[in-house]
Structure 1
Amino acid sequence: MRLKDQIAIITGSGQGLGRAFALAFAREGAKVVIAERNAERGAAVASEIIAAGGEALVVVTDVSSESSTQAMAAATLERWGRIDVLLNNAAIFSTIKMRPFDQIPVQEWDDLMAVNVRGVWLCCKAVAPAMRQQRRGKIINIASVVFDLGRANYLHYVASKGAVIAITRGLATELGDYGINVNAISPSSIQTEIPRETVTREGAIAFAQQQVIKRVQEPADLIGPAIFLASSDSDFITGQTINVDGGLRFR
């Protein structure tokens, strides 16, 4: 119960990795805000949490919209009066296709950046006033190994995750005086229930052979680091990126 009675907003938590985070945070005692664009998916995750004896609030949220993210923070404060944790998980990835950088449509580039980069900024902007007033808060951003690898044919996604790391470092500097910690988690290739045209199970297994730990990464591998960064155990850690990649960077 390391997160007992903590109020945690998790974006994109209606499926995949976000759902895993939401369920795990609830098991650790957090009251979870399911900030999810798809109301039906969000409600399903909330029902799982409540059925297990936890507390959850669904707030339909478009992270690329300032008014929507402000409403997300307002609904959280109205319900529980504080915001202790923001986990920026929402991102566009599963629906994009691999293609050379000069074949990426401009609209696709803009749509991805609106969620993956602007969305992180807007969600941080929305929760910052409450965290400043409390003089305490934890912001966790989900980056990706692709930034370090410079993976080909995903330039907009690679650039967006590089921006997430840059935002993490910049915000840590700006918010440190208020007792707010800002860190990132950088995973490898994660397999969830979300279908992806660009990453087959066979491809993920082949990718895992490049790691020191040669198995496909699963959402459970990120739960421990996320709970650590959300808890008081990490109070003196900020501006950092924890690489959770099975030792890929050692290869």
Structure 2
Amino acid sequence: MARLAGRTAIVTGGAKGIGRHYSEALAAEGAGVVIADISGGAEAAEEIAATYGANSALSVPCDVSDESQVKNLVAKAIERFGKIDILVNNAALFAPLQPTKVQDIDVDLWDKVFAVNVRGSFLLAKHVAPHMIARNYGKIINIGSGTVYKGLPGMLHYTASKGAIATFTRTLSRELGEHKICVNTLAPGLVMSETLVASGSHDEALKARVVASRAFKREQLPPDLLGALIFLSSADSDFVTGQTIAVDGGSVNT
């Protein structure tokens, strides 16, 4: 039996890149998936529905930094599926960012990174948590980054935002624990997703340094993350909360 049969998941940034893989993996385990993406996500939802059934996926265009759009997303999810069991806070700004020294980072860009990467996760948790509390059950999976443990020169805005996510998880896990809601961070390394490769924003020297830092000397691909994602989404992790699981081939030890 599929481990997530009867569950409903929201995946932000779920239409492209790693998020698309998350959406497909959750549907493959039986979950109804709400794909929330600023680009829409209709094509991704249609392909998932064609494979896993007409009621397996719904797409809702959403800018996660906009509270009114987040409210609409949650309302659409409840209208379609009646509940929300799993929230994957995946939407983030990373691939388009160019390495920039601290003195050259534009303030508006800094604010935009935090609006998407941090405020977006907060807004989703704010509006999804009441539905989970009402059912005394839930899984919130915040997507972090191994850069929090190592630092990444030239990417202060991104790394600082993911540091905020680490503390967000720790605090929220304690706040929601009485309601049997698990809150954890899944921290990838540098993943050669379709989005990152297409952006061309991260050079071969960086990739070589990252691979060299790993116990497993190879590039990381999106499927490498899916086992941990399903574990954190399923009953297998019902006594796991407030934790960071780094899936990066052993580049960092958490």
Shorter-normalised TM-score: what interval? over 0.9
1:77-130: CA deviation from partner (whole Å, max 9, x where unpaired): 111110000000000011111011111000000011000000000000110110
1:208 equivalent in structure 2: 211
Q: Please identify, of 112-121 and 204-213, the stretch whose mean Cα deviation from structure 2 is larger.
A: 204-213
Shift of 1:202: 5.9
TM-score of the pair, normalised by structure 1: 0.96
Aligned-partner residue type, residue 202 of structure 2: V
Q: Which runs of 5+ in 2 are unaligned?
A: none
Q: What CA distance in whole angstroms lies between the structure 1 residues aligned with 2:199 and 2:171?
A: 32
2:48 equivalent in structure 1: 49
Shift of 1:52: 0.5
Is residue 196 from structure 1 mapped to residue 199 from structure 2 by the alignment?
Answer: yes
1:1-251 matched pairs, under 5 angstroms = 1-39=2-40, 42-54=41-53, 55-194=56-195, 195-200=198-203, 203-249=206-252
RMSD value over aligned CA atoms? 1.1
Aligned-partner residue type, residue 203 of structure 2: T
- 1:205/1:215 contact within 8 Å kept: no
Q: What CA distance in whole angstroms lies between the structure 2 residues aligned with 1:201 and 1:56?
A: 36
Identity %: 45
Shift of 1:206: 4.1
Aligned-partner residue type, residue 225 of structure 2: L
Shift of 1:150: 1.1
TM-score of the pair, normalised by structure 2: 0.95
Shift of 1:209: 1.6
- 2:210/2:251 contact within 8 Å kept: no
* CA distance 1:17–1:213, change in 2 (3 Å): same
Aligned-partner residue type, residue 246 of structure 1: G
Q: What CA distance in whole angstroms lies between the structure 1 residues aligned with 2:27 and 2:52?
A: 9
1:208-239: CA deviation from partner (whole Å, max 9, x where unpaired): 12100001001101100010000000000000
| 3-state SS of 2:245 partner | strand
Runs of 4+ in 1 over 4 A off after TM superposition: none
Aligned-partner residue type, residue 235 of structure 1: D
Q: Which runs of 5+ in 1 are unaligned?
A: none
| 3-state SS of 1:52 partner | helix
